[in-house]
């Protein structure tokens, strides 16, 4: 009687152990490039309506994704306002609330082009979810001075808040699961961007 055939064994890693990790799930396009451009245009118009005097305003992007969004917003606002729009970038690495549970995070530059005292600072981030990144950004911003007011602008808002933080300006609100991951992908060559969703990431 012929021997029963066996299913092929799982592939082994170079060290000889079996790799049982599931394959990475492909990303779904949450916002196409055209939809993302419309969300950015909506954000810029909302900021301009709320703050018609560009001299009072400083855009500060939260490292890293918020920096690119802040630059894209500044380019749009410059077409509505005369003169240059002030843009800075803010690192929050050492203000995170999970430093005792993780390795030291990478540190990115913090640069603000002018004194923020008496200014309206618009903190800019690509994705808002739990609110913990924004809390860390508020702590980091406090080290730079005392602005007259702080506003929050986000390109994508998710509904998984863990802190009482609400944005003032939103490009698009999306429905996601807590375990999903949302990323804003920006082409540095032409500024074209889209929003990707990774389910259960």
Burial of 179 (0-12, 13-18, 19+ CB in 10 A): exposed
Find, among 111, 23, 108, 107, the residue nearest to 60 by Cα.
111
Which residue from 121, 119, 148 is spatially nearest to 47, judged by alpha carbons? 121
Burial 127-139 (b: 16+ CB within 10 A, else e): bbbebbbbbbbbe
User: From residue 11, how far is each of 15, 26, 106 by CA, in Å?
Assistant: 11, 21, 34
Give the list of residues 6+ apart from residue 55 with CB closer than 8 angstroms, or none.
Answer: none
Largest Cα–Cα separation, the chain? 89
- Model confidence, pTM: 0.84
Q: In whole angstroms, give the CA distance from residue 63 to residue 165.
A: 18
pLDDT value of position 123: 98
Output the pLDDT for position 190: 85
Which CATH code, of 3.90.1570.10, 3.40.50.2020, 3.40.190.10, 3.50.50.60, is assigned to 28-94+106-198? 3.40.50.2020
- pLDDT the model gives residue 12: 47
Q: What is the pLDDT along the chain (201 residues), one digit of tens a residue?
A: 444 444 454 444 444 444 444 555 678 999 999 999 999 999 999 999 999 888 899 999 999 899 999 999 999 999 888 777 899 999 999 887 666 676 667 888 899 988 999 999 999 999 999 999 999 999 999 999 999 999 999 999 999 999 999 999 999 999 999 999 999 999 888 889 999 999 986
| pLDDT score of 166 | 96
Give the pLDDT confidence score for residue 105 in this predicted structure.
Answer: 75
């Amino acid at each position: 009687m012929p021997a029963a055939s066996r299913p092929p064994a799982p592939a082994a890693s170079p060290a000889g152990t079996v790799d049982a990790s599931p394959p990475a799930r492909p990303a779904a396009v949450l916002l196409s490039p055209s939809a993302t451009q419309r969300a950015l245009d909506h954000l810029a118009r909302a900021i301009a309506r709320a703050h018609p005097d560009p001299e009072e305003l400083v855009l500060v992007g939260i490292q890293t994704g918020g920096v690119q969004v802040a630059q894209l917003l500044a380019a749009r606002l410059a077409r509505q306002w005369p003169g240059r729009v002030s843009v800075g970038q803010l690192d929050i690495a050492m203000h995170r609330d999970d430093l005792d549970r993780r390795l030291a995070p990478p540190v990115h530059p913090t640069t603000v082009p002018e004194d923020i005292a008496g200014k309206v600072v618009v903190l800019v981030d690509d994705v808002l979810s739990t609110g913990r990144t924004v809390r860390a950004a508020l702590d980091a911003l406090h080290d730079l001075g005392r602005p007259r007011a702080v506003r929050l602008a986000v390109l994508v808002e998710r509904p998984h808040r863990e802190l009482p933080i609400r944005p003032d300006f939103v490009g698009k609100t999306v429905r996601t699961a807590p375990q999903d991951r949302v990323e804003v992908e920006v082409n540095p060559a032409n500024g074209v961007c889209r929003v990707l969703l990774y389910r259960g990431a």
